[in-house]
Amino acid sequence: MSPSTKLIGLKADSFRHPLDLEATKALKQIPGLDMMVRNLLGPVAEQVFYVENIASSILVGENQLPQLHELLLSACKTLDMEPPQLYVHQHPAPNAYTFALRGKQPFIVLHTSLIDMLTPEETQAVIAHELGHLKCDHSLYLTPVNLLILAATVVPTVGVVLAQAMQAQLLEWIRCAEFTCDRAALLATQNPKVVMSVLMKLAGGSPTIAPQLNLDAFIAQARAYDEISKTELGEMVKNARTAQLTHPVPVLRAREIDRWASSKEYQNLLHSAKIVYNGEATSGGWRNW
């Protein structure tokens, strides 16, 4: 299951998507956002999530869902990071999310409905995507987004109010950050088809339908998505469609992974790291991007 290439010394900026970099710079210009999250939302969110997880989810470990635990440990070794806590939560909507503030215990939550329609490799890609958020220290700005998700689930009215209050810049940033974390999923699995298959199943999968889906047809669909932008009206419709979303549409994410997997940047990233084969490290310096 685990790829043999371990990215020893992997730095977040070596795989961060350029749109993530640009959006993060813009987000830092919002006055007081950092202070609001760390001093106000952070402590509240930490307690809310902890109570929710410990009361209503399953903590994965060596003696609890050990297969998932091994997927987590393997992905963490490849991405060169410490493993966070991993929870499984019973929920009909396929989803996964992560939370962490500096100095606090990070964790990842997987919904059962997501696990049910994915292969083990695809589940590892999801775990690695969430690890990407932690690796890139996205937690500062993910906190308001995850509070929105939780509030909308527990108290729908509050979720609506939070959604209306969220600034466009925050939504733009999280969409861009997702591209970065899809790259983390690719680095962990080192198989673009696995990552794109997850996106395909998120677009139209279920435990019964997922085995029937055709990945090549979905990739072609993703490439066709670009054709819409050839007209001004098409580009306006695309922008309006995504303006209030917390994630880019699945076909766009698949297209981005398809492109990056065939890029020199990705290939150089794999070969510029110190590589571990069967537990033995070979020489080779880390490239500063």
Catalytic residue numbers, as ranges: 130
Backbone angles phi, psi at 5, to 5 degrees: -85, 110
Cα–Cα distance measured from residue 181 to residue 64, given in angstroms and rounded to the nearest whole number: 26
Cα–Cα distance measured from residue 148 to residue 144, given in angstroms and rounded to the nearest whole number: 6
Query: Which residues fall within 8 angstroms of residue 85, CB to CB, at 6 or more apart?
Result: 53, 59, 60, 105, 106, 107, 108
Residue found under tokens 């043999």 = 4
Closest CA to 70 of 143, 124, 30: 124
SS3 93: coil
Closest CA to 273 of 48, 2, 6, 1: 6
Contact 244, 171 (CB under 8 A): yes
Cα of 35 vs its chain's centroid, Å: 24
Cα–Cα distance measured from residue 102 to residue 105, given in angstroms and rounded to the nearest whole number: 8
Count CA atoms closer than 13 A to 248's CA, side-chain side: 23
